Amino acid sequence: MCRLCNPATPKALCPGKAAIPSAPAESGSGANAPRADVSAGSLPGMSGEKGMRILIKGGVVMSVDDAVGNFAKGDVLVEGDRIVEVAASIEAGDARILDASGKIVMPGFIDTHHHQFETGLRSTLADAIVVNDGKPENARNYYEAMLLGFSQHYRPRDVYINELYGGLAQLDAGVTTVMDVSQIHHSAEHSDAAIEGLRDAGRRGVFGYFEGWWEGKEHPGGARRIRERYFSSDDQLLTMAMGGEIYIDGYEEMWAIGRELDLQIALHVVTTFGMTPTFDELAAKGMFGPDNIFIHMTGMTDEAWKAAADAGAHVSLSVPIEMHMRHGEPPIQKALDLGMSVSLSSDVECTMSADFFTQMRALVTLQRMRANERALSGDPHHPKLMRTADAIRHATIEGARGLRLDRKTGSLTPGKDADIILLDATAMNVAPLNNAAGAVVTLMDRSNVDTVMVAGRIRKWQGRLLGHDMEKLRRELEESRDYIFEKAGVAHDLFA
Closest CB to Zn ion among residues 163, 347: 347
Which residues lie closer than 8 Å to 18 by C-beta, 6 or more apart?
12, 213, 214, 215, 217
Inter-residue contact 86 to 414 (CB < 8 Å): yes
Residue nearest to Zn ion (CB): 347
Which residue, 172 or 322, has its beta carbon nearer to Zn ion? 322
What are the backbone angles phi and psi of residue 374, rounded to the nearest 5°? -70, -40
Residue 355 CB, nearest distance to Zn ion (Å)? Answer: 17
Least distance to Zn ion, CB of residue 53, Å? 40
Q: By rule CB under 5 A, what string of x and - marks binding of each residue 295-334 to Zn ion?
A: ----------------------------------------
Q: Shortest approach of Zn ion to residue 279 CB, angstroms?
A: 16
Question: For residues 406-434, b (16+ Cβ closer than 10 Å) or e, as one string?
Answer: bebbbbbbbebbbbbbbbbbebeebeebe
Residue 398 or 417: which CB sits closer to Zn ion? Answer: 398
Least distance (Å) from Zn ion to the CB of residue 115?
A: 6
- Interaction residues for Zn ion, span 138-177 (CB under 5 A): none
Binding mask 345-384 for Zn ion (x = CB under 5 A): --x-------------------------------------
Looking at the Cβ atoms of 342 and 458, the one nearer to Zn ion is 342
CA–chain centroid gap for 120, Å, is 16
Q: Smaller CB distance to Zn ion: residue 32 or 124?
A: 124
> How many CB atoms neighbour CB 39 within 10 A?
10
Distance CA 230, CA 222 (A): 12
Residue 347 or 419: which CB sits closer to Zn ion?
Answer: 347
By beta-carbon proximity to Zn ion, the closer residue of 296 and 459 is 296
CB of residue 474 vs Zn ion: minimum separation in angstroms? 25
Stretch that binds Zn ion, among 134-142, 192-200, 343-351, 471-479 (CB under 5 A): 343-351
Three-state secondary-structure class, residue 241: strand
* Rounded Cα–Cα distance for residues 452 and 57 (Å): 15
Q: Return the residues of window 44-103 that contact Zn ion according to CB under 5 A.
A: none
> Among 151-159, 215-223, 342-350, 488-496, which window interacts with Zn ion (CB under 5 A)?
342-350
With CA atoms as reference, report the closest residue to 343 among 410, 283, 277, 433: 410
Determine the interface stretch with Zn ion among 47-55, 297-305, 341-349, 390-398 (rule: CB under 5 A).
341-349
Chain mean position to CA 296 = 13
Count interface residues toward Zn ion (CB under 5 A). 1
Residue of 232, 230, 209 whose CA lies nearest to 221: 209
Nearer to Zn ion, 200 or 347 (CB): 347
> Is 58:99 a contact under the CB 8 Å cutoff?
yes
Q: Looking at beta carbons only, is 71 or 247 nearer to Zn ion?
A: 247
Between the CA of residue 297 and those of 180, 309, 333, 489, what are the distances in Å?
A: 18, 12, 12, 34
Q: Closest distance between Zn ion and the C-beta of residue 295, in Å?
A: 6
Alpha-carbon span 139 to 425, nearest angstrom:
45
Residues facing residue 86 across a β-bridge: 76
Q: Which of 249, 289, 233, 236 is nearest to 266 (CA)?
A: 289
Which window, 37-45, 184-192, 339-347, 372-380, contacts Zn ion (CB under 5 A)?
339-347
Distance separating alpha carbons of residues 457 and 32, to the nearest angstrom = 19
In the region spanning residues 102 to 141, those forming contacts with Zn ion, defined by CB under 5 A, are none
Q: Segment contacting Zn ion (CB under 5 A): 116-124, 166-174, 344-352, 402-410?
A: 344-352
Nearest CB to Zn ion, comparing residues 45 and 258: 258
Count each helix (H run) and each strand (E run) in the chain, helices first.
15, 17
Shorter beta-carbon distance to Zn ion: residue 65 or 347: 347
Q: Which of residues 6-35 bind Zn ion (CB under 5 A)?
A: none
Smallest separation (angstroms) from Zn ion to the CB of 347:
5
CB of 163 to Zn ion, least distance (A): 15
The least distance separating Zn ion from the CB of residue 119, rounded to whole angstroms, comes to 14
Eight-state DSSP code of residue 347: B
By CB under 5 A, name the binding residues for Zn ion: 347
